[in-house]
Chains A and B, each alone.
Chain A
Amino acid sequence: MPDSPTVGSPVGRRIVLGMLGLAALGIAVGSKVNTALSTLAENDPTGLSGLVPGSGHFRIYSVAGKVPPTAPEAYGLRVDGLVRRPGVLSFADLQDLPQTQLQKDVQCVTGWRVNDVRWSGVLVRDVLHHFGLDGGARAVQFGSGDGVYTESLSLDQALRSDVLIATSMDGSEISDSHGGPVRLYVAPMYFYKSIKWLDSITVTDAAVPGFWEQRGYDVDAWVGQSNGRTDAPTA
């Protein structure tokens, strides 16, 4: 009898148990394998490693529907709230402000990391000084052109010298899927802080939790010291 419920050996069960064993092993060593793959991906001339999940490449997340791409010429950054002179900065205005370059890692709270990304743009600090802060200013809220995503930082965090309104990434304009033409880069924090398609900055008297923070993520999102994670710091 080629298959009966009783004759033969239970190979199906062995396959299932074997898979479960492999999975347990994978959970134990997956993190190390990821790190090894990231190293490999950085020195990979073939580009094949890009096909392997989680190997040192950006993953693109978006919480809104399709966001129509904005050309730099059409871009505007509204700055309002507790500032002396609310106003709008064009892409050219941003390029006229003092420029800052950073070369630092990106760490996502879901685990992937991209090393040594080159960012340039204007520090949030320089933009805030350009508009002048009112006395009651304690926090900064950021809005996205997708109309859904929000983020915020305490004023002290926003004034750090590694919190950047980025207009360029790895030497070229920031692409639409990476949040271009202008996005935030909060170097010391998990990447959900680095809001894409940045289009508004509102200075407030208290920090308002952002999109993912209302869904359980930490507001003070220091890499390696929040969200129950112990990743190496990015700043």
Chain B
Amino acid sequence: MPRPPDALRRFSQGERWIHFSLATLFGICMLTAAMLYFATLSTLVGHRDLVARIHFITGLLLPLPLLLGAFVSQPFRDDVRRLNRFVPDDWNWLRSRDRRTGRIPVGKFNAGQKLNSAFVAGAVLILFGTGLMLHFFGFFTDTVRTGATFVHDMQAAAVAVVAAGHMWMAWMDPGARGGLRTGFVDRRWADAEHGAWAAEIAPAPEER
């Protein structure tokens, strides 16, 4: 499909790779976690030591896309800075009922996307850290080990819910999905969902 002339570049190739590899690693982690955790699945699949090893190695790799991205991709660093910053309108947007109408200006990322990215970043750090503690359990007392298991389980359950919501939102929004698949979004989608960002990077003809 030819790209419309007024398409806007939303994500660089590097960013799309970061997203794709993080999502893949995360998916494998979640899948193997389910095989280790749920009785019906774990008896169906078995091979506990193999599944645990895959889970551990995938978990070790999980922060890598973000770390590498931070080193090599300027667009990724810029977007992380944007995601980090909340302005008063972000809080208004979250509180408002008409947040999808564009009344409150939305930049490259809306407040929900900002919350999601912060939560996922925190979850990756926590799952990585507690996962290491569970793997190298010999260094910790059993109280700490049980505590780390508790946090690892709770965090995994929470991030699974959030990731399911994330995928649901993406499923409902082909424009956003296309942005991550191709790197480009069309002008109309950008005006509707991220009006302030669209105006910022490509002012409409009458504003020029």
B81 and A65 contact, CB distance less than 8 A? no
Tell me which residues from 49 to 99 in chain A have a Cβ below 8 Å from any Cβ of chain B.
53-54, 58-67
Interface size on B, residues (CB 8 A): 59
B84 and A10 contact, CB distance less than 8 A? yes
Determine how close the nearest CB of chain B comes to the CB of A32; give it in whole angstroms. 8
Check B43 for interface membership: any CB of A closer than 8 A. yes
Check A45 for interface membership: any CB of B closer than 8 A. no
**B115: which A residues are within 8 A, CB to CB?**
15
Check B27 for interface membership: any CB of A closer than 8 A. no
A211→B47 CA distance, assembly (Å): 12
**B13: which A residues are within 8 A, CB to CB?**
none
B46 and A64 contact, CB distance less than 8 A? yes
A62 and B42 contact, CB distance less than 8 A? yes
Tell me which residues from 43 to 77 in chain B have a Cβ below 8 Å from any Cβ of chain A.
43-49
A3→B196 CA distance, assembly (Å): 9
A23 and B126 contact, CB distance less than 8 A? yes
- What 1/0 flags go to B94-131 for Cβ under 8 Å of A? 00000000000111110000110111011101100110
Check A48 for interface membership: any CB of B closer than 8 A. no
A3→B106 CA distance, assembly (Å): 8
Check B132 for interface membership: any CB of A closer than 8 A. no
**A66: which B residues are within 8 A, CB to CB?**
43-46
A3 and B82 contact, CB distance less than 8 A? yes
Pick the contact of B90: A2, A28, A59 (CB < 8 A): A2
Check B164 for interface membership: any CB of A closer than 8 A. no
Determine how close the nearest CB of chain A comes to the CB of B173; give it in whole angstroms. 19
**B126: which A residues are within 8 A, CB to CB?**
19-20, 23
A20 and B125 contact, CB distance less than 8 A? yes
Contact surface of A with B, Cβ cutoff 8 Å: 1-13, 15-16, 18-20, 23, 26-31, 33-34, 53-54, 58-67, 110-111, 146, 176-177, 211, 215, 228-231
Besides A19-B125, A19-B126, 7 other A-B contacts (C-beta < 8 A)? A1-B196, A23-B155, A30-B146, A31-B142, A60-B43, A64-B46, A228-B142
